[in-house]
Amino acid sequence: MEDLDLFRANELLADGFRTLLAIGVSRDEALEIAQEQLEEVFAGHVFVNEHYYDGTDIPIRVGDRVYHRSEDEALGTLVKFEPEQDIFVIDWDDIGPVEYTMECIAAIGLEESRDT
């Protein structure tokens, strides 16, 4: 797995997590297994301020270019991400910074993964 990039590794871990849930493994146990796998895959690597949040299937980092999955698909930069404080902030290109609660995270996607 040493040639595996971060995005592909995340896809594989997410698929494994969904498979565990599908075969009846409890969510807590599946999360524990996924965390162990993540630690194995990325042993020795440090990803600063990266979070995998329940509302989205992608890792999100401060500094990532993101879009809103609405009709206008506005673009911006994630400037603050603190699930433990129930907030994240996006500095939108057109309207500036906006603070959201974590329940809104499902409406956000990474620009690089956006369907064109």
Assigned domain for 51 exists? no
Q: Quickly state the pLDDT bin for 49 (edges 50, 70, 90).
A: very low
Residue 13 parent element (H or E): helix 6-22
In angstroms, the CA 56 to CA 70 distance is 15
Hey, what amino acid is at 41? V
How far, in whole angstroms, is CA 95 from its chain's centroid? Answer: 23
Domain tally, the chain: 2
Range of 5-9, 44-48, 94-98 with top mean pLDDT: 94-98
Hey, what amino acid is at 52? Y
Phi-psi region for residue 115, left (φ > 0), alpha (ψ -120 to 50) or beta?
Answer: beta
Assigned domain for 102 exists? yes
User: Quick one: 63 and 108 in the same domain?
Assistant: yes
Assigned domain for 20 exists? yes
**pTM of the model as a whole:** 0.50
Distances (CA, A) of 9 to 52, 67, 116: 13, 22, 23
